[in-house]
Copies of this chain bind each other. A is one copy, B any other.
Amino acid sequence: MSDDHAATIAAVLAGDRRGIARAITRVENDPVAAAAIIGGVHARSGGALLVGVTGSPGVGKSSLVDRMTAAWRTRGRQVAVLAVDPSSPFTGGAVLGDRVRMQNHAGDAGVFVRSMATRGELGGLSRATGDAALVLDAAGFEVVVIETVGVGQAEVEISRAADVTVVVTMPGTGDGVQAIKAGVMEIADLFVVNKADLAGAGRAATEIEAALSLAELPPESWRPPVLQTTATRYEGVADVLDTIDRFRDHGGTDAVGRRRARIAARLRQLVADRAVRRVTTSGRFAQAVERVLDRSVDLYTAGDELLENGPGESGPSVA
């Protein structure tokens, strides 16, 4: 390991903000650096509660997370926020976004905010987010919020990365039903109807509850509560925090099962990434693509041929 990584690791473990920021930049940009940094901090991780917050654009997730952060601070907890936008390949707005998000917590060493933007690689963002969350965990943050925009596969991934997943919606847009359509029903441990001062909040909550009541659950299992908040006025925010704690207490062995599933998913991804890197750097990859393109071989046969020879002649170490 380079001395530089060692210094970064020491800074993370000391809770140094600039060291944490540097560590996250490195794990975000470079899987090799990520391996070194995660290797150095993992033993100190595991204490944080990872809270996933997801929902469609415009429902007020950022405001809700901001007020939840403030409420956790009044309870003495240190809070880090990772704001993830899986669908946007833009990174330019991220730094500005972080500043806006931080302005309510300026000068508070107990709050850390960071935007994560995709680099276009499928799976790369979830790897980087998982590693960044682990860095923040090891740095001593008791709550790490992973906030994502949208509904889809990315959110299912996030629900795997979090100990508890909060799905946020708002009244009046048919979003209650939409949440069900989009399959987020299955990943929510807790629903929040935000902007509850708007007309139709009660109906939105009732719709979600009605959909939930159709699910057949064992008697002892957790039933996702449907809360209402007006985050901009702090209304209902304390209740969200209490419900998250209640979920954590309820979790018991199930929480370990989730972490086990999360680790298994990350390990599978890691194995996949490395196998792909070996094969694509082998030179024969481009040839295989051309042969499939001109239809002299089918995809599966080409894949088999790459794998048969691939791992044997790995060439220079690809870490």
Query: From A290, which residue of chain B is reached at the shortest CB distance?
Result: B260
The residues of B that contact A268 with a CB separation of less than 8 Å are 276, 279-280
The residues of B that contact A96 with a CB separation of less than 8 Å are none
- Min CB–CB distance A308 → chain B (angstroms): 10
A202 interface hit (Cβ, 8 Å): no
Q: How many copies does the complex hold?
A: 2
B39 touches A263 (CB 8 A): no
Binds B, one of A105-113, A162-170, A238-246, A298-306: A298-306
238-289 of chain A: CB within 8 A of chain B: 256, 259-260, 263-264, 266-268, 270-276, 279-280, 285, 288-289
A300 touches B34 (CB 8 A): yes
- Min CB–CB distance A280 → chain B (angstroms): 7
Binds B, one of A148-156, A190-198, A223-231: A148-156
The residues of B that contact A306 with a CB separation of less than 8 Å are 267, 271
Contact check: which of B42, B264, B289 meets A298 at CB < 8 Å?
B42
- Per-residue CB contact flags for chain A residues 102-130 toward chain B (1 = under 8 Å, else 0) read 00000000000000001000110000000
Question: How long is the Cα–Cα vector from A259 to B184 in the complex, in angstroms?
Answer: 32
- Min CB–CB distance A283 → chain B (angstroms): 14
Known A86-B153, A87-B153, A122-B156; 20 more pairs at CB < 8 Å: A43-B298, A45-B295, A57-B182, A58-B178, A88-B182, A122-B123, A152-B153, A173-B173, A260-B293, A263-B299, A264-B289, A266-B299, A267-B289, A268-B280, A270-B300, A271-B275, A271-B279, A271-B307, A272-B272, A275-B307
16 example contacts (A-B, Cβ-Cβ < 8 A) are as follows A57-B178, A87-B155, A88-B182, A150-B150, A264-B285, A264-B289, A267-B288, A267-B289, A267-B292, A267-B303, A270-B303, A271-B275, A271-B279, A271-B307, A271-B310, A275-B307
